């Protein structure tokens, strides 16, 4: 038995699965609530980062019935703290990243705001003529067929798990000399502003659900057939189209949120507009 398990036993040792009228355990509530309280504490301390105990391990650790343990774990699951996987047991629920849509955003900053570490694995970086890129690249970036374009593919991580497979194309004249090492940490837009003085000022984005290919699912560590978000974006630096991007983002780890309010002077609540100050 681990020191943590011994400590947990001591925490709920006064409890039983039977009647305890007037006892200290009764005054603290039913035994499943005591187990739940202690599991919450251990989760908050990061004790289960590598492994969440099975029902059998918990019954042995706390000296209580499987029914008691399952009720405590069910409460953790309903609160989004633990996931039960058929045939695989329970695990600590991974962090879900919520992205407001009211303004230009950065995946790197969204991840860092949760306390997780963000990083990128550069899978591809090459310069090629626009005619060799997907047809939409030259159209969106206003390039001639012979104009050079930088093609970048990055796997973006939040903590230890991949979040997004990003494919970007940028005019080579606006990013001359870019190297893979420039793209492993932080925001591409910060790099554009700091090194080449191209500050992203606007653009548009389109989001829709898709089923990734088998290879894309493997890279993103998604089960075969599970959907992801396809995010298409055109970024502008003033009047200059600076990036065309297509990202596949995991729907089980990432969500998008739009906040709305009645449009000025609208007589009906059906007329809505994004709230510029949404958090």
Largest CA distance in the chain: 85
166 Cβ partners below 8 Å, 6+ apart? 152, 153, 154, 155, 156, 245, 246, 247, 248
Burial of 112 (0-12, 13-18, 19+ CB in 10 A): middle
Beta strand pairing call for 161-171 and 148-158: antiparallel
Q: What is the pLDDT along the chain (279 residues), one digit of tens a residue?
A: 444 444 454 445 444 444 333 344 454 678 889 898 898 888 877 787 778 888 888 999 899 998 998 898 888 887 777 777 666 667 665 655 555 566 566 676 777 666 777 889 999 999 999 999 999 999 999 999 999 999 999 999 988 889 899 999 999 999 999 999 999 988 899 999 999 999 999 999 898 999 999 999 999 998 888 899 899 999 999 999 999 999 998 887 777 776 776 666 655 544 444 544 433
Domains and CATH numbers, the chain: 3-92 (1.10.10.10), 97-259 (3.40.1410.10)
Q: How far is CA 170 from the centre of its chain?
A: 25
- The token pair at 4 is 């943590």
What's the predicted TM-score (pTM) here?
0.61
Is residue 17 within 8 Å of residue 65, measured between CB atoms?
A: yes
């Amino acid at each position: 038995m681990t020191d943590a398990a011994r400590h947990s036993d001591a925490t709920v040792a006064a409890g039983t699965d039977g009647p305890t009228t007037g006892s200290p355990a009764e005054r603290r509530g039913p035994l499943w609530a005591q187990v739940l309280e202690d599991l919450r504490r251990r989760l908050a301390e990061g004790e289960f980062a590598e492994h969440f105990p099975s029902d059998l391990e918990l019954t042995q650790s706390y000296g209580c019935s499987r029914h008691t343990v399952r009720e405590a774990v069910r409460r953790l699951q309903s609160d989004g703290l633990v996931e039960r996987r058929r045939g695989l047991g329970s695990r600590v629920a991974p962090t879900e990243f919520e992205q407001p849509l009211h303004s230009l955003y950065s995946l790197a900053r969204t991840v860092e705001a949760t306390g997780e570490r963000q990083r990128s694995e550069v899978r591809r970086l090459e310069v090629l003529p626009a005619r060799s890129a997907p047809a939409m690249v030259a159209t969106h970036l206003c390039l001639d067929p012979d104009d050079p374009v930088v093609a970048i593919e990055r796997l973006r991580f939040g903590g230890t798990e991949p979040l997004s497979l990003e494919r970007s194309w940028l005019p080579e004249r606006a990013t001359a000399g870019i190297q893979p090492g420039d793209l492993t940490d932080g925001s591409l837009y910060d790099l554009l502003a700091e090194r080449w003085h191209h500050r992203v000022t606007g653009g548009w984005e389109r989001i829709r659900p898709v089923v990734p290919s088998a290879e894309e699912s493997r890279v993103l560590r998604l089960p075969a057939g599970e959907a992801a978000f396809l995010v298409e974006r055109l970024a502008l630096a003033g009047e200059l189209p600076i990036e065309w991007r297509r990202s596949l983002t995991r729907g089980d780890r990432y969500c998008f949120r739009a906040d709305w309010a009645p449009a000025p002077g609208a007589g009906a609540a059906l007329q809505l507009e994004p709230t510029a100050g949404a958090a």
